[in-house]
Structure 1
């Protein structure tokens, strides 16, 4: 059952209008309303002073140039041309079309808004309260397997961030219950978790995969894998927030490639707050 409003979601069943909805009881997450609509925030990022938002399909047709204004006034816009890889680029090298290829972007000064998009893959926002720097990553199974989040952490550390202080939010993405993959995909992701090989049984024990009725397949929880990878990288579990919303299960809120087979995305962004370089 969806944590938003159950198993009866469709485009005519609006969670904002349902009085019996658990819509605003997502632990650690808040919906922010503005004149343009609603977007989702991770509470720990907001409390640390990082302006950010996970936008929904209701903002379709509005890209980062417009969405940035809902997060903060006067910020610059930076994004990669996503290619399902593990390259993290500097914000100052991604200032306009043609956007440089990559799947992550890291701030190199304050006042930069960093953006990624997706339609089942996990949008990941990282922020360091010590240095004020931030990063945004598009983490599908290929990105996680190629350790894009480790690369983002290293890039943040190069700018004075402290690994122990990093805050991370894993936004809405396809849930493990709905993400059927070949066993070979799950094993490739599993090998990236801690640098060792894992069997499918190992990954089931780690709650990264669950069984699937189709031979040679399983269900992969890519956000659980990303969280475990971050913990193995030395990040504190209490500072990693994972949104419970599933893009496939909530058609009124999210585009989903697996559900609709349509090339449409929702955007996620964060504003870096860096001033002077700070080293831990």
Structure 2
């Protein structure tokens, strides 16, 4: 749920970053533009300097890796693997994702102490990367009732104009597979928590990717009280967040979490 009281700023000498009370038992942070140029190797120092650092070359996909797989890959000194989600394999793994307007999703498992970091823009959401992450967690023994989801700062739906074709690609993930494409926009406009809003331009709508992700999560059997949505819009909060839609600059902020 979107609840400002669940989100707290943590101040540092360099600037502030965001934390979520839902993940209070895990060291984590949604970092901001104040940390421009700092890689996860530096940012982990604000969370736990003893943690190992894992990141990917993000490609707007539904590709997920475990830190164990990354360990084997990087032993040879190879380049970053391409993908958009990382699941921890052991204690003190810090997993990271980068974003500007896309949604950073941090997941924690109360049962195992394990964590995930996922980058989910409209493309990743259209391929259901977060539901696939939930399935991966379950395959490794996670229980749905133990999973916690913090959906970090991203562009809000009311300022994210997209073509109807893009919206349909994303929205079809929350409707039965036999739903006709021409009815998806109409049906989505009737959903209470507004995954889309109408737009004045023909063949355009305003798409709330984060709300679609939340609905995807709930459809996997997760209760709403296990989901927190950051109240900050990257596009409308230039003092704290980069936004590609706002500036067309390829600048990013990092989000990360450390496993128990």
Same fold (TM over 0.5): yes
More relative contact order in 1 or in 2 (CA 8 Å, sep 6+)? 2
Unaligned runs of 5+ in 2: none
**Superposition map of 1:101-140 within 5 A:** 101-140=82-121
> 2:240 matched to which residue of 1?
253
1:213 has 2:200 as partner: yes
Aligned equivalents of 2:79, 2:225: Cα separation in 1:
38
* 2:43 aligned to which of 58, 67, 72: 67
1:83 has 2:59 as partner: yes
Measured after TM superposition, the shift of residue 37 of structure 1 is: 2.5
**Superposition map of 1:218-237 within 5 A:** 218-237=205-224
**Superposition map of 1:1-280 within 5 A:** 26-46=4-24, 49-95=25-71, 98-196=79-177, 197=179, 198-206=183-191, 207-273=194-260
Measured after TM superposition, the shift of residue 194 of structure 1 is: 4.1
Q: Report which of the two has the higher share of helix.
A: 2
Q: Which SS does the other structure have where 1:30 is aligned?
A: strand
Q: Please tell me whether the aligned partners of residues 133 and 161 of structure 1 are also in contact (alpha carbons under 8 angstroms).
A: no
Aligned equivalents of 2:26, 2:138: Cα separation in 1:
18
Q: Please tell me whether the aligned partners of residues 80 and 94 of structure 1 are also in contact (alpha carbons under 8 angstroms).
A: no
Q: Please tell me whether the aligned partners of residues 131 and 159 of structure 1 are also in contact (alpha carbons under 8 angstroms).
A: no
C-alpha distance after superposition, 1:184-235 (max 9, x if no partner):
1111111111443352121111111101111101000011110011000111
Q: Which SS does the other structure have where 2:59 is aligned?
A: coil
Q: Please tell me whether the aligned partners of residues 126 and 171 of structure 2 are also in contact (alpha carbons under 8 angstroms).
A: yes
Q: Please tell me whether the aligned partners of residues 89 and 105 of structure 1 are also in contact (alpha carbons under 8 angstroms).
A: yes
Measured after TM superposition, the shift of residue 33 of structure 1 is: 1.6
Measured after TM superposition, the shift of residue 160 of structure 1 is: 2.1
Aligned equivalents of 1:87, 1:43: Cα separation in 2:
28
Measured after TM superposition, the shift of residue 163 of structure 1 is: 1.2
Measured after TM superposition, the shift of residue 45 of structure 1 is: 0.5
Measured after TM superposition, the shift of residue 34 of structure 1 is: 2.8
Aligned equivalents of 2:153, 2:188: Cα separation in 1:
22
Aligned equivalents of 1:81, 1:32: Cα separation in 2:
27
C-alpha distance after superposition, 1:209-267 (max 9, x if no partner):
10111110100001111001100011110110001110000111111000000111000
Q: Please tell me whether the aligned partners of residues 107 and 134 of structure 1 are also in contact (alpha carbons under 8 angstroms).
A: yes
